[in-house]
Structure formats: C-alpha cells, structure tokens
Amino acid sequence: MAALVLAGNASAIDVGVVDDFGIAPENAPWFFDSLADLGMRENRVSITWDPDAPTTIQRQQALESYVSYASMRGIRVIFAVAPAKARSITANPNTAGAQYASFLQQLARTFPTVKDYVVGNEPNQPRFWQPQFGRNGVQLSPAAYYALLARSYDALKAVDPAITVIGIGLSPRGNDAPGAKDNVSISPVRFISGLGKAYRRAKRQRPIMDELGFHPYPDRDTDSLTKGYRWPNAGVPNLGRIKQAFWDAFRGTRQPTFGEGTSRGRIAFRLDELGWQVGIVPSSAGAYYGRESVRTTNESNQAGIYNQAIRYLACDASVRSVLFFLLRDEPDLERWQAALVRADGSRRPSFDSVKGTVAQTGGRCPGRMRSWRHTTTVTGAKVRFPRKRVLPARRLSLALVVNAQEDATVEAALYRGNRRALRKRSTVKAYRSRIVRISNRFRPGRYSIRVTIRAALNTSRAKRFSTSLRIKR
C-alpha cells in the first residue's frame, strides 16, 4: 500500500463525541455549551432496539427535545441503533431483521432532521453479536450482519435517499479463535472479508453502506497513537489495512470502496469511537466508585494523544469525522474513563488540548495530505533462497524461507528450462517464517526456482520471486 503525500486540503474533518449525557433535559444546556466551547460539530447517541417491544422508541420525549436542541446549536446528530442483546437478531433473523429495519424507518420518520445512522455496533465482538462462529469453526456473524445491513440500507433509503448509512461500527481487534475460552471474536480484516463474501453470494446490485464506522482504539491505553496493531487487527496508524481489506472484499461490485488519489473518495471512514483511558486524579476520586480494570495512561499523555490524533487523521483523505468516547466520564471504574471531562464535571487537560487543536486547525490538515492506493501484491512478502546456487548432481533438499505481513499461500516450483519438474504448496501465517523444502534428485543442468505468494483473503493479489540454480557434474 503506497502512502502518497500530497499538498493542500480544502475540506475538513468533523470532531465530536460519543455520549448520551445530553439527552437528559437537565444536562442539555451544559452538554451543548461544552461542545460549542470545544468547537465540535457531531454527537453520536445510542438508540436501543428491543425485540420484545419492536416499535418502542426508548426515551422518545427526551430524544425529541435533544434533537431539536442539537439542531438549534448546529450539531449533527448520529443515531447508533443497536439490538438490545447479542442474540436479538440471530435468535429469529427473518422476523427480527424485518422488525429492526422497520424500526429504523420509524426513527427516520420521527426524527427527519437526523440523517446519519449506524447499523448495529461492533458485530465482530461477542458482547454485541452472537454467535460469532458455528460449531465447525466457520464464521457466522459476517453473513448474519450482512443480511441485517442490506435490509437496513434499503429501509432507510426508502424513507430518505439523503440518509447516510454507516456500516458495522467495527471493533479494532478480534482473536479469530472459535475455541477460545472467552471473547470469541473476529478480527476487523477477516470480518470485512466475510462481509464481502456474503455480499457476493447474494449477488446484490446495490450498496450496503455509505460510510464505514470504525473504532480504532489502542491495543493498550498505555500505547502511543502510532503503535497500532499487527495484521489482521488495526488501529489509527493501520487505516490503510482496513481500506485494503475493504477493497479486497468489494472490488468490482456495486459497493463503493475507498477512494484513491487526492479526493476523499466514494466511501469514507466515520471513526465513531476513539479514546485512551486515564487514571483518576486524587482531587476527583470521590466522583468515582468501583475498581479500575485496565492499565491506564495519565492525563498529560491523553491530552497529547488527542491533539496528535486530530492533526494526524485530518491529513487522511478518507476520514470524514473523529468522535471521542466520551465527553464526560462514567463514574463506575469498571466502565469508561477516557473523556475530556471528569465525572465531577472538572475539565481534563485533554479538553483544552482538543479545543486548542480544533480552533487552530479547523479540522483541516495542518501539513501535507496522505492519500492511499490499493496494492495488488502481498504486504511484506519475502523469500530467502539457498545461498549456494551451484551444487553437485545428487539428491538435494533445498530450503526456502518465506515471510509475509499477512496470511498467504505459497507455491514453490522447480523448473528446468520451461518445463516444471516439481511443485510444492504451503501456507504462511502473518509475521511467521515458513520453511518450504524442495527435494529432488538433480541431474546436471540449469534450473530456476520460482515462488508465488498470494494473499489468503484475496488470491488475485500476488508477488513472485525467482532465482537460478546450476547443477554441475
């Protein structure tokens, strides 16, 4: 994946928060004043769909007041509509899927000024979607979620074609281990691949999303912004990996993929959750309860990371908006403490950091734009051939060492002239060396060893290597 560096940026990303705090009427004045002070323009709120009450809009009266208030204050509202339980859809997919889609239409008609909808939340995680795998270890959640997303897209567009349908709300990590003791989940790259396969099997002739929701949290809250993940997971510095996975999954279909070159492209990222959890300062400890469950960073580091994140992501041509989770901390330490404001209402250093960065940049790239182009080869593919290229005629075993930065298949072939004498096939796991042995009784002459490495999730992506070999008498 080539990162092209380009000058200029006429457009800007939106910066906002994910937080339901402002829905309560008594909180709305402080909440919207704080967003205005920060220079923020978006707020994502959660809407729960309950199959036991499929037409009930929970907190409807408060939501009506909130949406009206947001409209007056110039805040774009995003509805993230998630099933109440992890098996709410899969327990009865046809009936529940139809009811969920009808509920989206009900929301769209009830709140006509809301034009952005996230369908579900992190369906690659068992907390929000079950089952992830079948008994035989085959992925189930991508295809099941595809059916819901396609139905939801059609339902929302039937109400208003101008509605933006945001797909997936993808978690940055998954273990791809159906036999794991806990957190049986699917990595983002493999989930996108499974979604694309389901789309192709259905032979759909319409898109399923306008934007891709992605939650590029760090692997650990003590990580820097630029640390990222290994394939097939992905964080802030690995957005190109997600773009490539999306291109692999949907290339040549009616579902637009990420734009290439200088434009923001036909589909964009809505990075609708991002945050680094911090430790609680002694002066605010009384506002919290419970026990911290993760190793946190400190408030100074968080402030620096949030400043850096806005500047870095504003220079990615595919990012439309970045939403921090949350504006105000949850008081339960088992929950989430990555906000700009502590649970007691006092401001963290990150509040002023984000405010200053938004004011200074306006959400525009402060330097040079980064663009992206898909690759047609295999990321990090390498082959180490035997050092000796002149060998005596006898039975030999030649060892090739193959590496790649993504799962791949390997075909190693021995040729004498243009005639293939031997072929060996194998696989290579990301970041792990694979030794491929070619054993044969060699006669004198000139040979070539040709190796083809193909991406496991898109076999049309390949990289080829070759070397010569001479067998002497």
Contact assessment for residue 139 and residue 194, using Cβ atoms and an 8 Å cutoff: yes
Alpha carbons 199 and 170: distance in angstroms, whole number? 17
Dihedral angle over CA of 216, 219, 224, 225, nearest 10: -10
Q: Tell me if residue 79 falls in helix, strand or coil.
A: strand
pLDDT score for 371: 85
pLDDT score for 1: 35
Q: Which CATH topology does 2-372 take?
A: TIM Barrel (3.20.20)
Name the phi and psi angles at 70, rounded to 5: -60, -40
Q: Tell me if residue 178 falls in helix, strand or coil.
A: coil
Dihedral angle over CA of 125, 129, 132, 134, nearest 10: 170
pLDDT score for 46: 98
Return all residues near 68 (Cβ < 8 A) that are at least 6 apart.
Answer: none
pLDDT score for 260: 63
User: What is the DSSP code (8-state) at residue 307?
Assistant: H
pLDDT score for 441: 87
**Residue whose C-alpha is closest to residue 166's, from 325, 320, 56:** 320
Spell out a b/e string for 269-282, using b for 16 or more CB atoms within 10 Å of the CB, else e. bbbbbbbbbbebee
Q: Per-residue pLDDT for the chain (473 aa), expressed as one digit of tens each? A: 334 344 444 489 999 999 999 999 999 999 999 999 999 999 999 999 999 999 999 999 999 999 999 999 999 999 999 999 999 999 999 999 999 999 999 999 999 999 999 999 999 999 999 999 998 999 999 999 999 999 999 999 999 999 999 999 999 999 999 999 999 999 999 999 999 999 999 999 999 999 999 999 999 999 999 999 999 999 999 999 999 999 999 999 999 999 764 444 489 999 999 999 999 999 999 999 999 999 999 999 999 999 999 999 999 999 999 999 999 999 999 999 999 999 999 999 999 999 999 999 999 999 999 989 999 999 999 999 999 989 998 888 899 999 999 999 999 999 998 899 899 999 999 999 999 999 888 899 999 999 999 999 999 999 999 999 999 98
pLDDT score for 6: 42
Pick one of 2.60.40.10, 3.50.50.60, 3.30.460.80, 1.10.287.130 as the CATH number of 382-472. 2.60.40.10
Dihedral angle over CA of 41, 39, 272, 76, nearest 10: -10
**Residue whose C-alpha is closest to residue 467's, from 370, 401, 393, 374:** 401
Domain borders along the chain are: 2-372, 382-472
Dihedral angle over CA of 104, 110, 116, 117, nearest 10: -20
User: Would you call 473 exposed, middle or buried from its count of C-beta atoms within 10 A (0-12, 13-18, 19+)?
Assistant: exposed
Amino acid at 387: R
Look-up of token digits 């694309």: 196
pLDDT score for 395: 84
